[in-house]
Structure 1
Amino acid sequence: MPSASSAVSDSGLPVPSALWRDGDFRRLWVGQTASQLGEHASLLVLPLFAVLTLNAGAGQLGVLRAVGQAPILLLSLFVGAWVDRWRTRTVMVLTDVGRTLTLGAAAVAGYLGCFGLPALFVVAFIVGALSVFFDVAYQASLVRLVERDQLVRGNSALEGSRSAAQIGGPALGGALVSLLSAPIAAASSALFFALSFLSIRRIRRIESIPTSSERPPRVWRRIHEGLRFVAGDSSLRTVCLASAAFQFSLAAMMTVYLLFLPRELHLSGTAVGLALAAMGPGALLGSVLAARLPSRFGHGAVLVSAAALGDSVFLCVPAVHDSPAVTVPALLAINFVFGTSNQLVSVTVMAVRQAVTPDGMQGRAAATIAFVGMGLTPLGSLLGGYLSQEWDVRTSLLVTAAGMLLSPVLMALSPLARLGRALPVP
């Protein structure tokens, strides 16, 4: 039960009453939740649109997914530079409008039967690019809306709703495609972005954007400033290195993991989906814990211990051998612990990053860390596939899971591990 000093948001997450009474924060939370639901629903609806409506093959489906993910690598640094000079409310509102119109047009064209696969590629890229803008902007917006001592709790609420959307979005999208049709499901995703627009446009607080009497520097210079700032701060530099090590190893491990479950354990598709779904509820718990544990035990201790626990739990997977009646509960427990620990680390890292970064650098810092952290994931996936071909799957799984432990080691040897209960200052 939440304490008397807290309220419970619609997601079931405890939110401090002082924070939840802030109407602008509530509007941001509602808008971000709706946006995340629409985004995660569209991640399933668009591939199903290609397969069920446009009869796309496996290779075409792979290209579609790659096109939708490409904006993360192509645009993140530029978006960070731009967001720091704009009002985040304006960025989020415009991206919601863009995604609503794009998916709405695709739904109408698909329903009328005048929509082809090349057009779907364009839709996937546009939606992915606009989502990059929204995600960078909402992270920067929190710093401009709440007090510094509310950053961890504010992030906990926002990331908790994002975790819920990761569970509910694909499930909702799949259900809509099954019950109705892919074009109508695409239209339903557009409605979530419209709801986000209606909520965020009502944010009243005037954001203070750093201004200068001099001519604004060129975008490349602003990107360089963001890279230099992150590289020059020991905590943020460690976050980048630890994130890159984790994401690279995780991509390799997940490639092997998805081979291991059906081939070695002979699990059905339903059982595989059930096992992986346990990460979602774990992430919800991690968001709740992130609002409480850092202020009690210290941010550094929480970061290192949670990362070590979550990254090491997958070392247990290669030891699983028995029947589905035993393996599925074991995998559920492993994935739940991983989801909890991973979300606890993510929320705490985000709060630390926001705390040490000046307001005029928030967007670039977030984009730089996302760019560095996610940039190696394609290579990690290739490594996982190569190891699975050259070695047996259990050995490959053990090696790639062990690689994730480099992340907590890097944090333990850095100033991050010495962070106390209070957040640092810029």
Structure 2
Amino acid sequence: MPSASRAASESSRPVPPSLWRDGDFRRLWFGQTASQLGEHAALVIVPLFAVLTLHADAGQLGVLRAVGQAPILLLSLFVGAWVDGWRTRTVMVLTDIGRTLVLGAAAVAGLLGRLGLPALLVVAFAVGALSVFFDVAYQASVVRLVERDQLVRANSALEGSRSAAQIGGPALGGALVSLLSAPVAAASGALFFALSFLSIRRIQRTESVPERPARSPRVWRRIHEGLRFVVGDATLRAVCLASGAFQLSFAAMMTVYLIFLPRELGLSGTAVGLVLAATGPGALLGSVLAARLPSRFGYGAVLVSAAALGDGVFLCVAALHDSSAMTVPALLAVSFVCGAGGQLVNVTVMAVRQAVTPDGMQGRAAATITFVGMGLTPLGSLLGGFLAEEWGLRTALLATAAAMLLSPAAMALSPLARLGRALPGGRDAPPTA
């Protein structure tokens, strides 16, 4: 082969086996890390500002979290149908620009003294909507850039970047709100999204976008195709059921948890940020384990056991009663175990989902599962606020933590539990009208 042809062939190949030698993969990894830092910081900044500065009660916090999560329910299916026909790099770059502008505007509003609860609701919804686009595009981009036998390794590396964000994001957000001000905290989130934009836009590899038919079907038809594909696959149906059970109960638990820590246990904003950040090191461990354990013990066994451990550990939190010397270390341990188990499940499920889904359905399959699972988070947040007001913080925390065990139970009773040491084969995409 002539050298020019060989060079062209090499440049068009997916990410090579040595992922970290590839400059485009490093740019994607860095951009993902920066984006997740901004997102995880914002997830702490907005509710902590509402609780500590605006003195929001449990019901108001539930509404605030629900508004931020509502775009998942409202937009996921449309975004999935739309992303499948576009370059994911373009989608991620545009959403980073949008989130930078939104949080930058929030910082300016805060400096002018106009960052009240209504403004926080607008910021939460806008950032949540743009994050839906980024997350769906990110999940579809992995399959377009790497070969299928590299999916677990690539997802492990990219989910590891999210773990690093979980280490620094909550701690940074909590510290900035506690020590400085919400406008400064919002500005830090805008800075991270800007860094993500600068990195991802430098990706040079041309990704393989599925060929569009001569007559592109209506968006509703494309959404229906995605729903039909997921419903028709027993493995993906099980993922939807387990994800829905987890996201509903986790959103309810976190609404109670974010009030329980400062008001019941007396933790400062900085301490709350550190406790939440401890999920990061655990998630980093989970990402490393996800590259090894499924091929050794089987995907099904890893999914069920990791979900049971990561979800069940929150039952221990209700036993804590004050801010003694052991309270923060105990909470750090809970967050670490939760992060490890949760990330192990996330990486493994993502690899299974990508393996059984053809390229032309990746965006819609991801969006459908996101719609079914994450779409329940607004209801969970409202439910958590309601239970906290009606039952009290401790009882509500115990009940919502126990409900999280419905997810591993659903996995154990589904085809996911029977997966072996190799990824399942994929199905053909349904014909497009």
Pair in the same fold by TM > 0.5: yes
Q: Which residue of 2 aligns with 1:353?
A: 353
The 3 A distance-change label for structure 1 pair 254 and 188 is closer
Query: Residue type matched to 1:58 in 2?
Result: A
Q: What is the identity, as a one-letter code, of the residue corresponding to 2:310?
A: G
Q: Give 2:30's aligned residue.
A: 30
Post-superposition CA distance 1:28-64 (Å, at most 9, x none): 1111111112223334455678899xx8563787765
Q: Which moved more, 1:377-386 or 1:208-217?
A: 377-386
What secondary structure does 2:333 align onto?
helix
The alpha-carbon distance between structure 1 residues 116 and 271, as it changes in their structure 2 partners (threshold 3 A), is closer
Distance in 2, matches of 1:228 and 1:137, equals: 21
Partners of 2:44 and 2:273 within 8 A in 1: no
Q: 1:255 to 1:218 in 2, by over 3 A?
A: same
**SS in structure 1 of the partner of residue 325 of structure 2:** helix
SS in 1 for 2:203: coil
Deviations 1:227-254 (A, max 9, x none): 1111111111001001111222223444
**Do the aligned residues in 1 keep the contact of 2:352 with 2:424 (CA within 8 Å)?**
yes
Structure-2 separation of matches of 1:404 and 1:79 = 28
- Runs of 5+ unmatched residues, structure 1: 1-15
CA distance in 1, matches of 2:414, 2:232: 14
Residue number in structure 2 paired with 1:5: none
Cα–Cα, structure 1 residues 422 and 200, in superposed 2: closer, same or farther, change >3 Å?
Answer: same
CA distance in 2, matches of 1:404, 1:67: 22
Q: Which residue of 1 aligns with 2:209?
A: 209
| 40, 58, 79: which one aligns with 2:56 | 58
Q: Report the TM-score, using the length of structure 2 for normalisation.
A: 0.82
The residue identity in structure 2 corresponding to 1:346 is: N
Structure 2 portions without partners, runs of 5+: 1-15, 427-433
Q: Distance in 2 between matches of 1:70 and 1:198?
A: 28
1:89 aligned residue: 89
After superposition, residues 203-352 of structure 1 pair within 5 angstroms as 203-257=203-257, 266-269=265-268, 274-319=274-319, 324-352=324-352
Q: Does the aligned pair in 2 maintain the 1:19–1:150 contact within 8 Å?
A: no
Q: Do the aligned residues in 1 keep the contact of 2:66 with 2:378 (CA within 8 Å)?
A: no
Q: Which amino acid aligns with 2:23?
A: G
Q: Percent identity?
A: 82
Letter in 2 for 1:191: L
Structure 1 letter corresponding to 2:56: A
1:167–1:277 Cα contact (<8 Å) kept:
yes
Aligned match of 1:152: 152
- Deviation of 1:216 after TM superposition, in Å, equals 1.0
CA RMSD of aligned residues (A): 3.4
Structure 1 residues 105 and 225, CA gap change in structure 2 (3 angstroms): same
Q: Which amino acid aligns with 1:417?
A: A
Moved more, 392-401 or 367-376: 392-401
Cα deviations across residues 112-151 of structure 1 (Å, max 9, x unaligned)? x396656665444333222211111111101111111211
Q: CA deviation at 1:212?
A: 3.8
1:6 is matched with none
CA deviations 1:208-228 (Å, max 9, x no partner) are 222244311111111111111
**Counterpart of 1:297 in structure 2: which amino acid?**
F
Letter in 1 for 2:417: A
Q: Against the structure 1 CA distance between its residues 324 and 176, is the aligned structure 2 distance closer, same or farther, given a 3 Å change threshold?
A: closer
Aligned 8 A contact 2:170 2:273 in 1: no
Residue identity opposite 1:189 in structure 2: G
2:43 and 2:384 mapped to 1: Cα distance? 23
Over 3 Å counting, the alpha-carbon distance change for 1:397 and 1:139 in structure 2 is same
Corresponding residue for residue 191 of structure 1: 191
Matched residue type, 2:199: S
> Corresponding residue for 1:9?
none
Cα distance in 2, alignment partners of residues 392 and 173 from structure 1: 27
For the pair 1:379 / 2:375, whether they are aligned, the reply is no
SS in 1 for 2:18: helix
Name the residue aligned to 1:11: none
What are the residue-to-residue correspondences of 1:119-198 with 2, within 5 Å?
121-176=121-176, 182-198=182-198
- Is the contact made by 1:267 and 1:324 (CA closer than 8 Å) also made in structure 2? no
* 1:285-332 per-position Cα deviation (integer Å, ceiling 9, x unaligned): 111211211122221111111112223333444455688234443343
2:363 paired residue number: 363
Shift of 1:335: 3.0
- Alpha carbons 1:49, 1:183 under 8 Å: kept: no
SS at match of 2:424: coil
- Rounded to whole Å, the distance in 1 between the matches of 2:236 and 2:31 is 28
Q: Please give the alpha-carbon distance, in whole angstroms, between the structure 2 residues aligned to 1:359 and 1:342.
A: 26
Aligned-pair CA distance for 1:100 = 2.8
Distance of 1:327 and 1:47 partners within structure 2: 22
Structure 1 residues 311, 66: closer, same or farther in 2, change over 3 A?
Answer: closer
Partner of 1:412 in structure 2? 412
How far has the Cα of 1:381 moved from its partner? 4.1
- Offset of residue 412 of structure 1: 1.8
Q: What do residues 51-80 of structure 1 show as CA deviations (whole Å, max 9, x unaligned)?
A: 99xx85637877655443322222111111
Q: Distance in 1 between matches of 2:48 and 2:316?
A: 34
C-alpha separation between the residues in 2 aligned to 1:278 and 1:404?
19
Question: 1:47 and 1:302, CA in 2 relative to 1: closer, same or farther beyond 3 A?
Answer: closer
Counterpart in 2 of 1:98?
98
- Post-superposition offset of 1:375: 2.6
CA distance in 1, matches of 2:123, 2:249: 31
Equivalenced residues, count: 408
Q: Is the 8 A contact 1:87 1:209 kept in 2?
A: yes
Offset, 1:421: 2.0
